[in-house]
Structure 1
């Protein structure tokens, strides 16, 4: 017998089970033959239960396996009951149902195709090779640490250079006169890469030597006086920290390539008149 808390959880799960993720993990084929229950002779398989559970958010999957399995089984029973009701009322003959079913089938085909495509083309060694390629590009790059004083006019920037030539401290001038957010840190921008700053700024900053101060530099933010503090080799992130990101990148590249090639050979006809009617309806 379920208590009131269990019913609340079951209700929440009922909302989730109605929107199973199409991209759920692959379930072992043998599980499709293992019947765990039936409703009026309509079987519920272990594969269906596993699919339902795997489609839930991680917070729900952390529940005790026995409790979660029992709750999801009840939801699958309800699903079979409502599915039978839909058959009784001939819902499947309605055009709206057929349209949605066709759309869902296309989505399911896409997900299974991409899953197989990625399994063939994006393997651990492929990801590692991409990582090494990116790391090799870092070997010739560097990061710098610089300070800057941001001002509104060129005249103000030139005045700063005069004060510096007379022995003024750069960080103190930045704290007193810079209009940039780094003023509170004495103009210190920390370490940054070439591409992390606007090109006009980076071009000058990366050409300096440690301790050198630039002439006034104009960017969209105003006028800068830049002082280079340090240079260091650009360090590569740990492979395990970026592996998932690299996998996603490679999967996008593979998908884009396949779609691009298929589009070039596909015969695509767009019915502009029907499309314009849809836009008018909205």
Structure 2
């Protein structure tokens, strides 16, 4: 009996040390804690790999999304695979989606922030347009249905990776674009994107600025939320998969994207100290 207890304790300590080791390994990639999003039942459950190449420092994260590989929440009835019938238009009903995505939903914030993400798109990356593809999100969560929506998505659209703003439920704005970030220009190299945000329900206070290599690419001014708290998501998220037609577009492709510099701070100075170029 004592031997059994010793083995159980040893196993628990080993698991704990492994988790601590993973967190330590991730410090140069991120200063945030991430959890899988809507991942129960996916075919590829281990869709995040820690790799040494390509990487800006010693390590980066590789995210893989298999064709139509949808999952569901551990609790509740939300699923990317099947609509629960309650909110089909806005999307909280689920269905017609797939993702390999992580979120910081347990670490929510308000107010002004500086946020970075570095993205490496392989040379053989294939778009699934007209399916909507998001690679990064700023998401609002609160006590009302209005507060539970993405507010910013970095989406593949028209050959570009551009921010789409959902400041008012059901509305989609591209903001003021000064320069396009083209997918073809991103292939085979790292691109570091910085967001300077003020999430506010006051249209005179809210803003999101998007910088690439210290150049302002995009600026949205106005309402950026409904008074809830916010968190970030990264990974590959497909919605409206039914827009893909196998006869027209061929075989639905697997997508792979690499991530690094997943940081969030209160000031630009703190963020720049963390970012690896």
Query: TM-score per shorter chain, which class?
Result: under 0.3
Bigger relative CO (Cα 8 Å, ≥ 6 apart): 2
Give the greater-gyration-radius structure (CA).
1
Higher strand proportion: 2
TM-score normalised according to structure 2 size: 0.18
Higher helix proportion: 1
TM-score normalised according to structure 1 size: 0.17
